[in-house]
């Protein structure tokens, strides 16, 4: 089986959908030899920011001299982005070899009461297998969805991290911050330290309750300007972070007690300050568990971390920015960041989105900044049509009159949307591609 055939087989399992619960997956891993039990882990979840935090923790560990495996989702341009060995994409030959080994095991399992595994499960199993084959010192895992019932939740981590809690995937995780916090707190394991960057009071309380039940030491991360409510829950061992001036709007000072460190992430945007603080907290807790991670490695790792599709500038004159903001919280943060980071005359929005996200909830944060919007469908069965997205924008306009007109277009596919945006843009305009990582991944630079 070559790489192309391996990818085709992995994607064929998408017909199974996304099924939460791990009895089937654990049965498969046992047939594979339980590769996940041979490696220490950092386990990271959150509504937003978990991909950046995973990348930051991995970069810090590599800067400290460790051989690191990284599992991240979704990918943007290449499926191999999901599985990194020492910061590099898993080799195509290794990807194909792993799938070749797993395919007969999948067929065997299919004839049992468990049935066939899902696309996400084989990707996760492939990561575990690759990490074991590469003999990494430690792996950093990003949760796919939620936490408690996610396929990644078959390990006992050195440290767990809950970056944020917001209202996303409510159809699967529950309608409230408390419900979602309960699902994400499912990655907390008995006696293992946990970092929490949750800000909503109900989420904070729920995570505290789960950590107490698990006898897991809890370390909160919060911005130093937050309200007294959060100060009461921070505790003496919590981590505070303070924004520092920087052209990337992401420089930050992180403090725990008498210890502090000023950091300049390569990743841009104010929200990366929170992600950086969560990653630094994880590194400090790993250090307390015996890992050698000097401050210089934290500084270097934060500065070297790279991640596609997060305020990623891919072209100039006109400038084009890719960002995978796909829910209201992420869109609100993105809308705040754009005028702080970029100077532009007009904003041209290229937007695509998947169900069950409600377009208007996300668009309402971006449309006030937008001069021209181009909506497009995606080659995904869950994608909203361009016409549906346009109607959502028109609905917003009916209740939010503007002094200057907002021009709305639809495009048959992402590539037509990109071409139209480039044709409409002047050199001093900004083209923003957002709404879904699937849309961002369609940008090939041409």
CATH code (residue 397): 3.90.190.20
In a domain, 32, yes or no: yes
- pLDDT computed for residue 110 by the predictor: 87
**How many domains does the structure of the chain reveal?**
2
**DSSP state at residue 154:** T
Angle at 117 between CA 112 and CA 118, to 5 degrees: 155
Q: The CATH number of the domain where 118 resides is what?
A: 3.40.1190.10
In tens, the pLDDT along 209-264 reads: 999 999 999 999 999 875 554 555 666 789 999 999 998 899 999 999 999 999 99
Q: Is there a contact between 22 and 153 (Cβ–Cβ < 8 Å)?
A: yes
In a domain, 61, yes or no: yes
434 bridge partner residues = 351
410 bridge partner residues = 375
Q: Are residues 115 and 248 in the same domain?
A: yes
Q: Is there a contact between 143 and 150 (Cβ–Cβ < 8 Å)?
A: yes
Q: Is there a contact between 191 and 214 (Cβ–Cβ < 8 Å)?
A: yes
Q: Is there a contact between 106 and 143 (Cβ–Cβ < 8 Å)?
A: no
Q: Are residues 247 and 371 in the same domain?
A: no
What are the structure tokens assigned to 240, written together? 């505070």
For residue 82, what is the enclosing H or E element? Answer: none
Q: Are residues 179 and 245 in the same domain?
A: yes
Q: Are residues 142 and 200 in the same domain?
A: yes
Q: What's the chain's average pLDDT?
A: 93
Per-residue exposure over 350-371, b if at least 16 CB sit within 10 Å of its own CB, e if not:
bbbbbeebebeebbbbbbebbb
Show which of 304, 321, 337 is a domain's final residue.
304
Q: Are residues 235 and 339 in the same domain?
A: no
In a domain, 445, yes or no: no
Per-residue exposure over 285-304, b if at least 16 CB sit within 10 Å of its own CB, e if not:
bbbeeebebeeebbbbbbeb
Q: Are residues 353 and 299 in the same domain?
A: no
Range(s) of the domain holding residue 366: 312-440
> What are the DSSP calls for 230-246, one per residue?
HHHHH-TT-EEEEE---
SS (H, E, C) 159-195: EEEECCCCCCCHHHHCCCHHHHHHHHHHHCCCCCCEE
- pLDDT computed for residue 446 by the predictor: 44
Q: Are residues 284 and 320 in the same domain?
A: no
In a domain, 330, yes or no: yes
Show which of 280, 304, 328 is a domain's final residue.
304
Q: Are residues 275 and 171 in the same domain?
A: yes
In tens, the pLDDT along 192-201 reads: 999 999 999 9
Q: Is there a contact between 270 and 250 (Cβ–Cβ < 8 Å)?
A: yes
In a domain, 276, yes or no: yes
In a domain, 235, yes or no: yes
**How are strands ordered across the β-sheet holding 430-434?**
312-315, 319-322, 430-434, 347-351, 372-376, 407-411
- pLDDT computed for residue 54 by the predictor: 98
Q: Are residues 150 and 294 in the same domain?
A: yes
In a domain, 153, yes or no: yes
Q: Is there a contact between 406 and 367 (Cβ–Cβ < 8 Å)?
A: yes
Output the tens digit of pLDDT for each of the chain's 446 residues.
999 999 999 999 886 655 566 889 999 999 999 999 999 999 999 998 999 999 999 999 999 999 999 999 888 889 999 999 999 999 999 999 999 999 999 999 988 888 889 999 999 999 999 999 999 999 999 999 888 999 999 999 999 999 999 887 777 788 899 999 999 999 999 999 999 999 999 999 999 999 999 999 999 999 987 555 455 566 678 999 999 999 889 999 999 999 999 999 999 999 999 999 999 999 999 999 999 999 999 999 999 999 998 899 999 999 999 999 988 988 998 999 999 999 999 999 999 999 988 999 999 999 999 999 999 999 888 899 999 999 999 999 999 988 888 999 999 999 999 999 999 999 999 999 999 999 999 997 54
In a domain, 446, yes or no: no
Q: Are residues 193 and 324 in the same domain?
A: no
Q: Are residues 226 and 333 in the same domain?
A: no
Q: Is there a contact between 21 and 124 (Cβ–Cβ < 8 Å)?
A: no
What are the structure tokens assigned to 205, written together? 């309380």
Show which of 304, 332, 358 is a domain's final residue.
304
Q: Are residues 35 and 178 in the same domain?
A: yes
In tens, the pLDDT along 117-149 reads: 999 999 999 999 999 999 999 999 999 988 899
> What are the DSSP calls for 343-385, one per residue?
--S-EEEEE--BTTS-HHHHHHHHGGG-SEEEEE--SSTTBPP
């Amino acid at each position: 089986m070559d790489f192309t055939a391996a990818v085709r087989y992995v994607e064929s399992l998408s017909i199974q959908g996304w099924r939460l619960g791990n009895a089937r997956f654990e049965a498969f891993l046992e047939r594979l030899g339980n590769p996940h039990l041979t490696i220490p882990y950092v386990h990271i979840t959150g509504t937003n920011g978990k991909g950046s935090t995973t990348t930051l923790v991995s970069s810090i560990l590599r800067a400290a001299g460790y051989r690191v495996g990284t599992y991240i989702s979704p990918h943007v341009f290449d499926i191999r982005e999901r599985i990194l060995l020492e910061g590099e994409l898993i080799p195509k030959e290794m990807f194909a070899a792993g799938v070749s080994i797993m395919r007969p095991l999948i067929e065997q399992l299919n004839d049992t009461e468990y049935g066939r595994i899902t696309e996400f499960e084989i990707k996760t199993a492939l990561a575990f297998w690759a990490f074991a084959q590469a003999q990494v010192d430690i792996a950093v895992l990003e949760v796919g969805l939620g936490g408690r019932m996610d396929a990644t939740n078959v390990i006992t981590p050195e440290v767990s991290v809950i970056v944020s809690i917001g209202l996303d995937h409510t159809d699967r995780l529950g309608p409230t911050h408390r419900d979602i916090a309960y699902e994400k707190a499912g990655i907390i394991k008995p006696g293992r330290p946990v970092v929490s960057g949750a800000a909503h009071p109900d989420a904070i309380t729920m995570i505290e309750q789960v950590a107490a039940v698990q006898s897991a030491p809890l370390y909160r991360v919060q911005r130093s300007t937050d309200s007294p409510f959060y100060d009461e829950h921070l505790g003496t061992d919590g981590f505070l972070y303070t924004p520092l001036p920087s052209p990337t709007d992401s420089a930050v000072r992180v403090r725990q007690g008498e210890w502090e460190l000023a950091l300049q992430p390569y990743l841009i945007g104010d929200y990366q300050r929170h992600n950086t603080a969560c990653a630094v907290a994880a590194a400090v807790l790993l250090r307390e568990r015996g890992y050698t991670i000097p401050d210089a490695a934290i500084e270097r790792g934060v500065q070297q971390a790279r991640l596609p599709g997060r305020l990623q500038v891919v072209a100039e004159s006109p400038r084009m920015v890719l960002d995978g903001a796909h829910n209201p919280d992420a869109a609100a943060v993105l809308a705040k960041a754009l005028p702080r980071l970029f100077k532009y005359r007009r904003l041209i929005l290229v937007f695509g989105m998947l169900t069950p996200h409600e377009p208007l909830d996300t668009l309402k944060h971006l449309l006030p900044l937008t001069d021209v919007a181009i909506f497009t469908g995606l080659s995904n069965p869950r994608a909203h049509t361009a016409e549906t997205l346009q109607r959502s924008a028109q609905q917003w306009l009916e209740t939010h009159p503007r002094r200057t007109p907002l021009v709305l277009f639809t495009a048959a596919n992402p590539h037509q949307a990109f071409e139209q945006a480039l044709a409409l843009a002047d050199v001093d305009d900004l083209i923003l591609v957002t709404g879904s990582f699937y849309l961002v991944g369609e940008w090939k630079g041409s």
